[in-house]
């Protein structure tokens, strides 16, 4: 190719490319949802005087252009490939792969955030509970905790986090340490969460400490929900790795129990297969996903004891495993309901055991707790 031919060909190719993308953008129908990233995609913004004059319109249009760009997922994969495999950068958007599992950098320790969680727990205790209640708290390590200490990846100072919590939380609230009952194998490779089928050691430890182990007699049976679970991290990283499988543990108590959602006033089964089938996040199988207050009702219980769990999403898969031991388990997620409003829905009494159960992810980024 001589210089003249090259000049003409490449110039025209460049023009065809940018005009072509413009035309494709105009022709292609906008999508509502990205299944791989599990989020709603930006739509073309309404143009009004306000967003024109506060300068937000440009940002909104750019977000729209990013979200609706043709072959968006493929382009995102190219970026991940260039960053991780060609430039050998260690992470992309804070995510990295180690031992064939996707991790998100959770660093550094935010002491204020940890103190905030301790404060919230103490406030709830002071407001609704007293020393006649059996109150416990436990910390769920995120999977970074199990990264090799010699790996180059940055790890939270889990010891310091643990110390702050122990020093700051009211001494009437007893600590249940479950760090040793878990390992990296107990977490999904493509997601933040733990695998329910691996939680029996955790269940035993908590049941033992909270003294309800003697009410847990029936074995669990393992069932498979799906062969293809692509978790949150999978979509964020934009790199193809093998999907996870979701299994769940059940027994006659769990199968016959129902859940009642305080927000929607709807009943459902503990493992909500219909909801999970429709949802972008298959982890919604467990207790139908995120919600302010949900109750597990076990009419077959041989006790009238109740359990209240203040929890994040990790609790959704753990709580069902306690079903046999309680007549009622109420799960409260104070990311979605203010602690001041809880008494409108819940009557606290000493027939209830109380468990605060938070993952290190929420503890280190607790701004959303109300």
| Interface with other proteins (CB under 8 A) | 1-4, 6-11, 13-15, 17-19, 21-22, 25, 52-53, 55, 57-59, 61-62, 65-66, 69, 72, 75-76, 78-80, 82, 87-91, 93, 107-109, 152-154, 238
Minimum CB separation from other proteins for residue 241, in Å? Answer: 17
Phi, psi of 220 (to 5 degrees): -95, 145
Minimum CB separation from other proteins for residue 57, in Å? Answer: 7
Tokens of 99: 């031992």
Minimum CB separation from other proteins for residue 38, in Å? Answer: 15
Q: Please give the full DSSP string across 19-51, using - where no structure is assigned.
A: HHHHHHHHHSPPPSEETTTTEEPP-PPPP-HHH
- Token look-up 């407001």 returns 127
- Contact indicator for 311, 334 with CB cutoff of 8 Å: no
Minimum CB separation from other proteins for residue 72, in Å? Answer: 6
Minimum CB separation from other proteins for residue 145, in Å? Answer: 16
Tokens of 213: 């182990």
Q: Which is nearer to other proteins, 97 or 308 (CB)?
A: 97
- Contact indicator for 164, 114 with CB cutoff of 8 Å: yes
Q: Which is nearer to other proteins, 6 or 31 (CB)?
A: 6
Q: Which is nearer to other proteins, 90 or 201 (CB)?
A: 90
Q: How far is 69 from 95, CA to CA, in rounded Å?
A: 22
- Token look-up 């990233």 returns 37
Q: Which is nearer to other proteins, 45 or 243 (CB)?
A: 45
Minimum CB separation from other proteins for residue 183, in Å? Answer: 23
- The three-state (H, E, C) secondary structure of 306-340, written as one string: EEEEEECCHHHHHHHHHHHHCCEEEEECCCCCCHH
- Contact indicator for 247, 197 with CB cutoff of 8 Å: yes
Minimum CB separation from other proteins for residue 239, in Å? Answer: 12
Q: Which is nearer to other proteins, 1 or 278 (CB)?
A: 1
Q: Which is nearer to other proteins, 81 or 175 (CB)?
A: 81
Residue 276, class by beta-carbon neighbours within 10 Å (0-12 exposed, 13-18 middle, 19+ buried)?
buried
- Angle value at C-alpha 127, between 213 and 174, nearest 5 degrees: 30
Q: Which is nearer to other proteins, 73 or 181 (CB)?
A: 73
Cis-peptide into 185, omega within 30 deg: no
């Amino acid at each position: 190719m001589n210089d003249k031919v090259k000049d003409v060909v490449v110039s025209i190719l460049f023009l065809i490319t940018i005009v072509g993308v413009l035309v494709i953008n105009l022709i292609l129908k906008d999508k509502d949802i990205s299944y791989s990233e599990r989020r709603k995609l930006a739509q073309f913004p309404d143009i009004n005087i306000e967003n024109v004059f506060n300068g937000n319109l440009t940002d909104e249009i750019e977000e729209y252009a990013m979200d609706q760009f043709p072959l968006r997922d493929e382009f995102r994969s190219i970026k991940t490939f260039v960053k991780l495999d060609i430039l050998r950068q260690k992470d992309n958007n804070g995510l990295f792969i180690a031992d064939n599992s996707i991790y998100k950098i959770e660093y550094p320790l935010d002491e204020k955030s940890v103190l905030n969680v301790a404060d919230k727990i103490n406030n709830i205790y002071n407001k609704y509970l007293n020393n006649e209640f059996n109150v416990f708290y436990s910390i769920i390590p995120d999977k970074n905790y199990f990264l090799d200490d010699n790996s180059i990846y940055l790890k939270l100072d889990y010891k310091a986090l643990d110390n702050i919590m122990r020093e700051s939380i009211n001494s009437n609230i007893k600590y249940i340490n479950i760090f040793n009952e878990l390992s990296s194998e107990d977490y999904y490779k493509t997601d933040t969460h733990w695998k329910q089928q691996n939680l029996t050691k955790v269940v035993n430890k908590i049941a033992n400490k909270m003294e309800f182990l003697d009410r847990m007699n029936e074995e669990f049976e393992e069932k498979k929900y799906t062969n293809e679970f692509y978790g949150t991290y999978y979509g964020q990283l934009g790199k193809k790795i093998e999907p996870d499988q979701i299994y769940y543990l059940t027994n006659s108590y769990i199968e016959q129990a129902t859940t009642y959602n305080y927000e929607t006033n709807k009943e459902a089964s503990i493992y909500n297969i219909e909801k999970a089938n429709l949802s972008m996040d298959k982890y919604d199988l467990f207790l139908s996903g995120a919600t302010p207050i949900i109750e597990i009702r076990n009419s077959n219980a041989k006790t009238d004891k109740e359990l209240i769990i203040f929890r994040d999403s990790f609790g959704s898969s753990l709580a069902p495993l306690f079903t046999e031991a309680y007549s009622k388990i109420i799960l409260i997620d104070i990311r979605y309901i203010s602690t001041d409003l809880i008494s409108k829905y819940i009557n606290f009494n000493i027939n209830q055991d109380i468990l605060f159960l938070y993952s290190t992810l929420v503890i280190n980024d607790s701004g959303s707790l109300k």
